[in-house]
Structure 1
């Protein structure tokens, strides 16, 4: 029976038990319960586990060193679910203390399993939203990494910050305008589309695209932006026609 198959009262009890078990492990410098929850097949059990780590980290400063050493130990696990959950737990800490968990992100980016690498992308998103300065500074050099998947993952990871503060990530995205790897350029175009339909973002994106030299890529990005305003018309600030009119009036071909 999975987490959400349980009645609400039983879910509340399970979360309380999970939090207490993890706290007990940390106080006793053990990993048995943490490892059990971190390796659970149920996504929501693992999520409750990494959220518990984050809560304890902030609520009980005396356990912070133990938490970091425990996560470091668990990062050596052969189980990709454990490593994935370690990265997600580190991401909770990195929302306000990125310098303490940067090494986990460096390691996770090169993990052999896509689940772990995807956890890095998700963590960059949530950390970048709350703690953009160190996270984006860390991300920038990876945009020039020789491994195309690293460039793609970082591009995807900084997207969420761009939905509210496009000016923060557009200079980083510009680093990829001449990337000749299709997967990277496709992700770049996708990210530009995803940030451009949010409130106040189209203007910032179009103004910045006027500075880009790769006109072929920019045109694809503009086409994606127009299409996104149709696909997400229930959520877009402007109608598709308003987006087209703005681009026509403000993009300098």
Structure 2
């Protein structure tokens, strides 16, 4: 029976059991329960497990070094679900102390399984939103990596920070404007669209794009921004027409 096949009360009881069992493992130097939850076929049980690790870390009930030591061992698992959940657990820790878990993402970024690499992207998003300075400094190391998938994953990973603070990631995105790989450029265009529809963000993005040299890519990005204002019309601060009018009036002007 899956997590969401349970009633709300049963789900709450299960989450409490997961937290208690994981805490017991940490307290007794074991991994039996943790491994069982991390390898579960149900996405939501694995999520409850990595959130439990983050909660235990936040509550300071167990030394951070002990938690990280256990996660280090789990990252060596042959099971991709265990490695994936381990990366997500490290991401919970990295929201407040990225330096202690940075090595998980250095390794996970090159994992053979896409689900583990996707966990890196998701973790960069949530850590970058809460703890941007060290996370974005880490991301800079990989902007020009020889592997196009690494560059694409980094571009995608920093997106969430940019939705509220586009100025924080635009200098990094700018470095990718001449990337030779279509897959990377398409992700870059997608991210530019995603960071341009909240309050005050279109102005910041257009102002930055005025300084970019790859005009062909910028034109595609502006088209994506206009389209996003239609697709996300219930969430965008401007209507599509207002976005078009703003771009027509301000793109091509000198950066302010």
TM-score normalized with structure 2 length: 0.98
Q: Deviations over 1:28-75 (max 9, x none)?
A: 000000000000000110000000000101112543211100000000
Q: What do residues 63-101 of structure 1 show as CA deviations (whole Å, max 9, x unaligned)?
A: 321110000000000000000000000000000100000
Matches within 5 A, 1:57-136: 57-136=57-136
- Give the alignment's Cα RMSD to 1 decimal: 0.8
Question: What's the counterpart of residue 220 of structure 1?
Answer: 220
**Partners of 1:200 and 1:70 in 2: how far apart?**
43
Identify the residue that residue 53 of structure 1 maps to in structure 2.
Answer: 53
* Native 8 Å contact 1:22 1:33 kept in 2: yes
Distance 2:211 2:55 in 1: 43
- Whichever structure has more helix as a proportion of its residues is 1
1:231 is displaced (CA, Å) by 0.9
Task: Kindly indicate whether the alpha-carbon contact (under 8 Å) linking 2:26 and 2:62 is maintained by their aligned counterparts in 1.
Answer: no
Q: What is the CA deviation profile of residues 91-138 of structure 1, one whole-angstrom value per residue up to 9, with x for unaligned ones?
A: 000001000000000000000000000000000000000000000000
Matches within 5 A, 1:1-253: 1-252=1-252
C-alpha contact (below 8 Å) 1:108/1:116 kept by paired residues: yes
TM-score, normalised with respect to structure 1: 0.99
Preserved CA contact (<8 Å) 2:75 2:86: yes
Unpaired runs of 5+ in structure 1?
Answer: none
Q: Which moved more, 1:98-107 or 1:7-16?
A: 7-16
Structure 2: gaps (5+ residues): none
Runs of 4+ aligned residues of structure 1 deviating over 2 Å after TM superposition are 60-63
> How many residues in Structure 1 have an aligned counterpart in Structure 2?
253
Structure 1 distance, partners of 2:143, 2:90, is 22
SS, match of residue 198 in structure 2: coil
